[in-house]
Structure 1
Amino acid sequence: MDRAQIVNSNFRRRVASEDLPQGAAPLAAVSGDCAVSIYRAQCLSRALDLTSRTMQKNGQGYYTIGSSGHEGMAAVAQALRPSDMAFLHYRDAAFQIARADQVPDQDIVRDMLLSFACSSEDPISGGRHKVLGSKELMIPPQTSTIASHLPKAVGAAYSIGAARRNPPQHRQLPDDALVMCSFGDASANHSTAQGAINTAGWTSVQSVPLPLLLICEDNGIGISTKTPTGWIQASMEHRPGIKYFQANGLDIYETHKVATAAADYVRRKRKPAFLHLRTVRLYGHAGADVPTTYLSKAEVESDEANDPLLHSVRLLRDAGALQPQQALEIYEETCLHVEAVAAEVITRPHLQTAEQIATSLVPPKRACLASPAPSPDARDRAFGSDHRSMENPQPMSRLINWAITDLMLQHSEIVMMGEDIGRKGGVYGVTQKLHQRFGPDRVIDTLLDEQSILGLAIGMGHNGFVPMPEIQFLAYLHNAEDQIRGEAATLSFFSDGQFTNPMVLRIAGLGYQKGFGGHFHNDNSLAVLRDIPGLVIACPSDGAEAAMMLRECVRLAREEQRVVVFVEPIALYSMRDLHSEKDDAWMQFYPPVSKSIPLGDVGVHGDGTDLAIVTYGNGRYLSVQAQADLAAKGIKTRVIDMRWLAPLPAEAILAASKDCRNILIVDECRSTGSQSEALMTLFAENGATAIARHVAGDCFIATGPAYAASLPSKDSIVSAALALVAAD
C-alpha cells in the first residue's frame, strides 16, 4: 500500500480500538456542534484526498497535492466570516469545505470533485486548472507560483480601509471584513513572502489600517527540504507592526480559540497579525512523491501517528461531543459519499477546443454607472495655473499629467501607487501636483518594492478600485513581473471570469535617454510582456496620443476589467523639437476630454505609397524625421504607428499598408523577441514580399555618448529604406 492507504487503514484501526494519540484536554471555548462540524469538514477533506488519488490512478483525475495533515484549517474557517476574503495555501481544502458550511446552497463535494476531474462544469475554473476557489465563498483561485498571493493579500487588506474613505462602485468587501492569506513554512522564505510581510509591517507602524491575517501552516518541510526547528517562530515573532499568534494545528479546539483571538485582534485594531499554525504533512508532497526517499521511515511514521483526525476524535470524545464509534461512522459515510459522487462526476464533460479554453482570458464587461465629466469649477480648482498653459502646445509628460488629472476627477475609484509618485511628483515629474490635487489616499507613495506596488494594485482591483500603479523604469519590472504574469493576468482565466483585478500599469521605459543610467534606465525589451495572454500593451509616441490612449486604457480597465500596461517612452517625455532646434514640432495641444483613441486603432502619418514604415514609440519620432529625408530623395512614405502592441492590431496594420509597394518595420526593441518578429510573420502570412525590418541589436544599452549606438536612428532608417526600395 502507498502511504495514503496506510494512513487510511491506520485511522480506521486506531479509532475502532480507541488507540488515540495523547494531547492536551479540549478547551471549552468551542461548542459541541461547532467542533463536530469542524470534524466533518476534516473527514471530507481527507476523503477527497483519497478519492483524488484513485481518480488519478484511473486516468479520471489530474490533481493529487492533498490537504492531509492540514485539516486543522477547518477550525480557522469557523473562526472567520464568509465575507472575509481568503487567499489560500493549496493545502487548504478543509478551509474551503468548512467555509461552505457557513454559506447556504453549497454542494462542496461535487464542486471539488468536478475540479479534480478538470470538468468544464467545475464552478471555479471551468476545467482550466485544479484550484481552490469560489466566488460565493469569497476565495479567489490561487496559482501554483510560490508565495505570489501574499502581495495582493496586503493590497486587498489595504483596500478595505481605502473603501471606507472612498467607496468604489464595484466594492466587494464590507467595512468590517478582514483578509486572510495562508501559506506554507517553506513559502515563508520566498522573497515575495518576505517582501509582503515587510510591507504589511511597514504599513502598520505608520498606523495605516491593514486588517490582514497571515497564516503560516508549518509542517516542517518544503517538498524534501526541512525547515529548521524553530525557524518560523524565531523569524516572525518580533516583526514590527505585526502581532504574532501560535497554535497547535492538530488541536481543533486550540486552533479555533487562537484563530478567533487573532481574527478579533485584526478586526478590532485594523492591524495585521501572523498566526503560526503547527501541522504535519501526510503522504509526501504530491501523488508521485515518495517521502521515504528523503525521510527515514521512522520520521514518516511519526507524522502519521500524529494524524490530526486522530487528535480530533480524541478531543471530541474528551469533550463529550462525539464518541469514537460515531466519529468512525462519520468518516466511513463521508468516504462512501465522496466515492459515489466521484463516480458520477467523472462522466461530466471537459473542455475540448482552444476557443473554449481561451474564453475566460479576457474578463467579462461590467455595468458601470456613468461618470459625468468634471465640471469647469472642479477642473479650475484642480488645474489652477495649468489651465493657462493649455492654450499652448506641451510636451508628452505634461499632457499625461493633465490626462491623469481629468481621469481622476471623473472617476473617483482611480487610485495611483508607486515609488516617489506623490510628494516628489515622480522621477520625471509626470505625476507632479497630483498628490496635492487628490491627497495621499489616491496618490500613494509606496515603499521601494515593485512586488508590493503591483500587489497593492491587484488587491485594490479585487475590491472595486481601478488602480494605476507606476513602475519607475522598465528594467525594474523584472523584479516583479510574476505579479503580472502569474497573478493579475491569470485571475480571470483561472476563475472563469468570476474574479478580476483590473488595472492600468504605467511604466516609464524604452531607450534613447542621453547618457543616463545605461541599460537599467534604458531597457528596450518588451518581450516579457508581449507573450502574456490577455494583456493589453499600449505605447504612445506623442503627448496628445498619450492622453487619448490613456483615457481608453482606463475605460478598458474600468468597464472591461482588463489588465493594461501603458509604456511611456522616457526619451519623448520632454521632447519638443522634431526637425530642427526650437521648432517645437513634437509638442501637442491637450486634446478635449471627450476624445480618446480606441484599442486597435493605429496612427497613419502621410499618404505615400512607395514605402510604409511600421513602427511605434521612439520609432515613430525617428521615422517621421526620416520621412522628410526620404521625400527629398523622391520616395513617398507613410508612417504607420502601431500604438497598441498587444493584442497586435493586425487588421488595422494590414489595411493601413495594403497599397504600399514596400514595407519597412522599424523596431527600437532588440532583434530577438521584439514586435518586429510578429510583424514580419503577419506580413509574410498575408503575401507581402518587399518587406524588411530595422531593429536594435541584441545587446544591452550603454551609458554615455554611445547611448544610442545599438538602436535605430534617423540616418539608419533612411539607409534601410533606401536599400529596401532599391531592391524592389
Structure 2
Amino acid sequence: MDRADIVHHNFLRRVRDGDLPPVGPLPAKEARLDGAALLSIFRAQVLSRQLDRISRKMQAAGQGFYTIGSSGHEGNAAIAAALRPTDPAFLHYRDAAFQIARAAQVEGQDPLTDMLLSFACAADDPISGGRHKVLGSKALNIPPQTSTIASHLPKAVGAAYSIGLARRVPPIAAQYPADAVVACSFGDASLNHSTAQGALNTAGWTSYQNVPLPLIFICEDNGIGISTKSPAGWVAANLQARPGLEYISCNGLDIVETYAAATRAAQIARARKKPAILHTRCIRLYGHAGADVEAAYRPKSEIEAIEAQDPLIHTAARLIAEGAASQDDILKLYQDIEAQTSRTSEEIVTRPHLKTAAQVMRSILPPERTVPRINAPSDAERAERFGVADMRAMDAPQPMNKLINLGLCDLMLSYPEIVMMGEDIGRKGGVYGITKGLQTRFGEARMIDTLLDEQSILGLAIGTAHNGFVPMPEIQFLAYLHNAEDQIRGEAATLPFFSNGQFSNPMVLRIAGLGYQRGFGGHFHNDNSLAVLRDIPGIVIGVPSDGAEAVRMYREAVRLAREEQRVVVMIEPIALYPMRDLHEDGDGGWMRTYPDRAETAPLGKVTVNGQGDDLAIVTFGNGVYLCEQARPDIKADLRVVDLRWLAPLATEAVLDAVKGCKRVLIVDECRRTGGQNEALMALFSEHLDVPIARYTAEDSFIATGPAYGATLPNRDGIIRAANALLNP
C-alpha cells in the first residue's frame, strides 16, 4: 500500500479509536484562539492533506504533474492565521496549508479549485496559467516561488527593507501597507545554501544598524533534505547565533504553540520593525516527492515512527481536548473534504492545457502598465540639483564616465521611485566614480551602500521592485555577477513567466565590465563573456559605445523598467569610461556632448556610422571605438553598425543596417564561443548572400600586465580582417 494511503487509514482509525497523542501545555484560550479559529486551521490542514493525496493519484493516472506535497508541514496553517492577508509571503513549496488558511481570510477565494488547476497544469490555472505547479496568488499577496532551495530569501529581505524605505522616499506608490510584515519560509536543508546564509546575514547586518526590517524567516525543520539528514541540533545552533535576529522556536505539530510563536514573531516584526526567525519543528510524510522511494534510505521502523506523529492527529487531539469538535465531527469534516477534493479533481482534469509555443511564451514578458510620465524638472530645479559646474559640463564634450554620471542624476531627479544600491556607490561614488555625488544630492535612502554580497544586492533590487520602486542595482565588475547570476535567471526573469504576468520585478542592473583595462585586475576585473546573460528569456542587455549613447540608452532602460516592467542589464565598458581621444593624443575624438533630454536610444534600433556599401562592420561597445580607429586604414567605403542592444537582438534593424553592402565583418570583443558573433553569423548566413567573416576575442581569460589585450580584438587586427574580406 502507498504510504499516503497508510497515513490516511491510520488517521481515520486513530480518531475513531481515540488513539490520540497528548496536547501541548498551552491552552488555546491563552493563545487567543477560540473553537472556530481552531476548526478553520484544521480545515486548511485537511484540505492540504487531501490535495497531496489526490495529486499522487492524478500523476499515477497521467493527469497531474507534481507531487512534492505539504504533508507533515500542515502546521504552517497556524502561521498564516497569525499574519494578515496583506502581509506578503514568499513561500516554501510545502506550504499549501499556509495558502489555504490565508485564502479563508479573503473573500471569494477557492483554494481547492485553484490548486487542482495548478496540479493539472490547466491553462486556466489562476497563478501560472498552466506553466508550472507553484503556490501563489495575487489576491493573497503570495508571489510564486519556483526555487527548491532558498534563492527567494534575498528578495524577501529586499521586500521587507522596501517597507521602511517607502516611508523615507515619498512619494512612492507602494504595493504593501506601511505596517506590513514580510514572511519567507524555507526548509532545514535549504538553510545550508549560500542564499539562505547570505539573506540571514544581510538581515542581521541591517537590523544591527537599527534599520527597519519587518521580516519573519520561517525555517520548517523536518530533519531531512531528500535523503540527507540535518545533524541533530544543527538548525537551532545555526539560527540562534544570529546577531540582529530574534530567534523563536516551536513545535510545528501543535497548532496552538505554533500560532502563539508566530504571533510573537509578527509582533516583533510589525511593532518593533525587527527581523525574527521562527524555527518550526515538523515532519515529512511520504518522502520527498511521489517519485522518491523513502524506504530506499530510511528504515521502515523510522518511517512508521514519523508517521505516528502526523500533525493532523495532533490537531484532532487538540480539537477534542478544547471542546471545539467531537470525534464524529472530525471524521465527517475529513471525509467531506476528501469527497469534495475527489469530485472537483474529476472535473479539473478535463480542462484544456497549453499547447503551442506562443501560448507558453505569452508571459515571458510582463504586461505593460500605465505609470506617470517623466516628472520633468524645471531648469531651475536642475540647476539647483546639478550645481554650476555640472550644468556647464553638459555644454562641453565629456568622456563616458562623466556623461553617465550626469545622466543618472537626471533620471533620479525625474523619477523619485528610482533607488540605487551596491557596494561603495554612495560615499565613494563607485569604483570608477560613476555615481559620485549622487548620495549627496539624493540622500542615503536612494543611494544605498550595501554590504559586500552580490546575491543580497540583487535580492534587495528584486524585493524593492515588488513594492513599487524602480531599482538600479550595481555589480562592481562583470565577473562578480557569477556569484549571484541566479537572482536574475532563477528569480527576476522567471517571475512574470510563472505568475502569468501578475507579478514582476522590473529593474535596471548596472555592471562595469568587458576588457581592455591596461594592467589592472586580469580576468577577475576584465571579463569579456556575456554568455551567462544572453540566453535568459525576457531580459534586455545593452552595451553603450560612447557617453552620449550611454545616456540615451539609460533613458530607454528606465522607460522599459517603468512602463514595460522589464529586467534590463546594462554593461558599461570600463575601458571607455575615461576615453577622450580617438586617433591621437588630444584630439578629443571620443568625447561627446550631453544629449538633449528628448533623445533616447529605442530598443530594437541600431546606430549606423557611415553609408559605404563595400563593407559593413557590425559590432558593439569597445568594438565601435576600435573600428572607428581602424576606419582610415581600411581602403573601402564602409559603415559601422553599433548594435547597442544585444538582447533581444534587433534582427530587422540589423539586416536593414547592412542592406546593400557587399561584405559583412563581425567584430566581437567577447569570446568566439558563446559570444554575440555566433548569433550574428547565424542571422547573416540565413538572410544574406554576401561574404561574411568574424573577428573575435580568443576563448581565453584575460591576462594582467602588458598582455592585457593579447587575446582581444585590436585596431590592427580589424584592419587585417577587413582587408582579407575585401581582397580574398
TM-score (norm: length of structure 1)? 0.99
The structure 2 residue matched to 1:525, chosen from 529, 538, 542, is 529
- In the alignment, does 2:468 pair up with 1:464? yes
Other-structure match for 1:452: 456
- Contact kept, 8 Å, 1:26 with 1:315, in 2: the verdict is no
Other-structure match for 1:13: 13
Other-structure match for 1:117: 120
Question: 1:314-353 to 2 correspondence within 5 Å?
Answer: 314-353=317-356
Secondary structure at the aligned position of 1:705 is classed as: helix
Other-structure match for 2:706: 705
Other-structure match for 2:424: 420
CA drift of 1:25 comes to 3.9
Other-structure match for 2:662: 661
The structure 1 residue matched to 2:298, chosen from 284, 295, 299, is 295
Letter in 2 for 1:659: G
Question: 1:581-592 to 2 correspondence within 5 Å?
Answer: 581-592=585-596
- CA change 1:99–1:167 in 2 (3 A) is farther
CA drift of 1:236 comes to 1.0
Secondary structure at the aligned position of 1:520 is classed as: helix
Question: 1:536-555 to 2 correspondence within 5 Å?
Answer: 536-555=540-559
Question: 1:41-60 to 2 correspondence within 5 Å?
Answer: 41-60=44-63
> What is the number of residues matched between the two proteins?
724
1-side partners of 2:219 and 2:212: how far apart?
A: 22
The structure 2 residue matched to 1:357, chosen from 357, 360, 365, is 360
The structure 2 residue matched to 1:150, chosen from 142, 148, 153, is 153
- Contact kept, 8 Å, 2:398 with 2:591, in 1: the verdict is yes
CA drift of 1:144 comes to 2.6
1-side partners of 2:555 and 2:690: how far apart?
A: 37
2-side partners of 1:16 and 1:168: how far apart?
A: 59
Secondary structure at the aligned position of 1:534 is classed as: coil
Secondary structure at the aligned position of 2:629 is classed as: helix
Secondary structure at the aligned position of 2:354 is classed as: coil
Q: What percent of counterpart residues are identical?
A: 65
CA drift of 1:390 comes to 1.8
- Contact kept, 8 Å, 1:178 with 1:212, in 2: the verdict is yes
Letter in 1 for 2:681: M
- Contact kept, 8 Å, 1:627 with 1:638, in 2: the verdict is no
Other-structure match for 1:572: 576
1-side partners of 2:269 and 2:241: how far apart?
A: 17
- Contact kept, 8 Å, 1:609 with 1:638, in 2: the verdict is yes
The structure 2 residue matched to 1:65, chosen from 65, 68, 79, is 68
CA drift of 1:168 comes to 5.3
2-side partners of 1:26 and 1:16: how far apart?
A: 25
CA drift of 1:378 comes to 1.6
Letter in 2 for 1:623: C
Other-structure match for 1:722: 723
1-side partners of 2:670 and 2:491: how far apart?
A: 26
CA drift of 1:666 comes to 0.2
Secondary structure at the aligned position of 2:707 is classed as: coil
CA drift of 1:299 comes to 1.0
- In the TM superposition, what whole-angstrom CA distance separates every residue of 1:550-585 from its partner, at most 9, and x where no partner exists? 000000001110000011000000000001111011
Other-structure match for 2:91: 88
CA drift of 1:526 comes to 0.1
2-side partners of 1:707 and 1:95: how far apart?
A: 55
1-side partners of 2:375 and 2:97: how far apart?
A: 47
- In the TM superposition, what whole-angstrom CA distance separates every residue of 1:566-622 from its partner, at most 9, and x where no partner exists? 110000000000011110110000011121110011010011110000000000100
The structure 2 residue matched to 1:373, chosen from 365, 371, 376, is 376
- In the alignment, does 2:405 pair up with 1:401? yes
Q: Which moved more, 1:153-162 or 1:139-148?
A: 139-148
Other-structure match for 2:435: 431
- In the alignment, does 2:222 pair up with 1:222? no
The structure 2 residue matched to 1:133, chosen from 129, 133, 136, is 136
The structure 2 residue matched to 1:103, chosen from 101, 106, 130, is 106
Other-structure match for 2:168: 165
1-side partners of 2:338 and 2:375: how far apart?
A: 57
CA drift of 1:291 comes to 1.0
TM-score (norm: length of structure 2)? 0.99
Other-structure match for 2:615: 611
Other-structure match for 2:506: 502
- In the TM superposition, what whole-angstrom CA distance separates every residue of 1:47-102 from its partner, at most 9, and x where no partner exists? 00000000000000000000000000000000000000000000000000000000
Letter in 2 for 1:261: R
- In the TM superposition, what whole-angstrom CA distance separates every residue of 1:168-204 from its partner, at most 9, and x where no partner exists? 5442100000100000000011011000000000000
2-side partners of 1:711 and 1:559: how far apart?
A: 38
- In the alignment, does 2:201 pair up with 1:198? yes
1-side partners of 2:342 and 2:173: how far apart?
A: 40
CA drift of 1:290 comes to 1.1
Q: Which moved more, 1:261-270 or 1:166-175?
A: 166-175
Other-structure match for 2:4: 4
CA drift of 1:145 comes to 4.3
2-side partners of 1:145 and 1:559: how far apart?
A: 31
- CA change 1:695–1:145 in 2 (3 A) is farther
1-side partners of 2:720 and 2:531: how far apart?
A: 27
2-side partners of 1:102 and 1:723: how far apart?
A: 72
CA drift of 1:252 comes to 0.5
* Alignment gaps of 5+ in structure 1: none
- Contact kept, 8 Å, 1:120 with 1:126, in 2: the verdict is yes
Secondary structure at the aligned position of 2:186 is classed as: strand
Q: Which moved more, 1:321-330 or 1:117-126?
A: 321-330
1-side partners of 2:690 and 2:612: how far apart?
A: 18
- In the TM superposition, what whole-angstrom CA distance separates every residue of 1:414-452 from its partner, at most 9, and x where no partner exists? 000000000000000000000100000000000000000
- Contact kept, 8 Å, 1:204 with 1:272, in 2: the verdict is yes
Secondary structure at the aligned position of 1:575 is classed as: coil
- CA change 1:492–1:168 in 2 (3 A) is farther
Other-structure match for 2:675: 674
- Contact kept, 8 Å, 2:662 with 2:690, in 1: the verdict is no
Letter in 1 for 2:702: I
Letter in 1 for 2:577: Y
